[in-house]
Amino acid sequence: MSRYSRQELFAPIGPEGQARIRATRVLLVGCGALGTHLAEFCVRAGVSALTIVDRDFVEPSNLQRQSLFTEQDAREALPKAVAAERQLRALSSDVVIRGVVEDFSFRNAEKLAADADLILDGTDNFETRFLLNDLAVKTGKPWIYAACVEAQASCMPVLPGRTACLRCLLEEQPAGGGDTCDTVGVIMPAVLQAVAWASVVALKIMTGNEAALLCKHYNVDLWTGERRI
């Protein structure tokens, strides 16, 4: 049985869908709570190549929710992109993995996304998300907005020219940048919920099952059970 046999046995994907996944190049911006789990998903799913962009360094407070990192990484204050690349290379030799220790900005956005077929959001601020949104709209590349804070998880697929984009949902950035994990905290289940949504959306896009997408913004508070669409 092949490495990806259980994924291929899932009828909506099958061998043809797996071949599509193997041909997909992913750009992941941000390697924190969302980003580490999304990076691991991409590698285990068997994408062709994964570029991870993050400027930050591993800290002890990251270990509560950010997979791929260890206490040793925190002691050495390794760049997150470097630590993630090392862990992911040990996980799979099938995937071309590149960690980029840079701030994702308007200066390098198009260059970093040039070869990408899909853009994933592992960020923690709306300034970068709006940049990702505008980049996707300009280049026509699909991207997946994902977010988590406190007990809330959100996700929204953006297929430029075919679906609403982030600016349709939010005309302006939240005042003060909005709540963040640094200001109000986050629990692991919220991270995993956002990652689960973003991952299944990514699978649908990568395998050509876009007709199965529910192109809406989903938000749930796992603590209160409140859901918003």
| 181 noted as active-site residue | yes
For residues 63 and 69, give the distance between their C-alpha atoms in angstroms, rounded to a whole number.
7
Annotated catalytic residue, options 31, 148, 181, 215: 181
Q: Is 70 helix (H, G, I), strand (E, B) or coil?
A: coil
For residues 75 and 52, give the distance between their C-alpha atoms in angstroms, rounded to a whole number.
22
How does 34-46 read in b/e, with b if 16+ C-beta sit within 10 Å? bbbbbbbbbbbbb
Q: Is 218 helix (H, G, I), strand (E, B) or coil?
A: strand
Diameter of the chain measured on Cα atoms: 52
Task: Name the amino acid, one letter, at 228.
Answer: R
How does 75-84 read in b/e, with b if 16+ C-beta sit within 10 Å? eeebbbbbbb
Q: What are phi and psi of 131, to 5 degrees?
A: -65, -45
Q: Is 145 helix (H, G, I), strand (E, B) or coil?
A: strand
Enzyme catalytic residues: 181
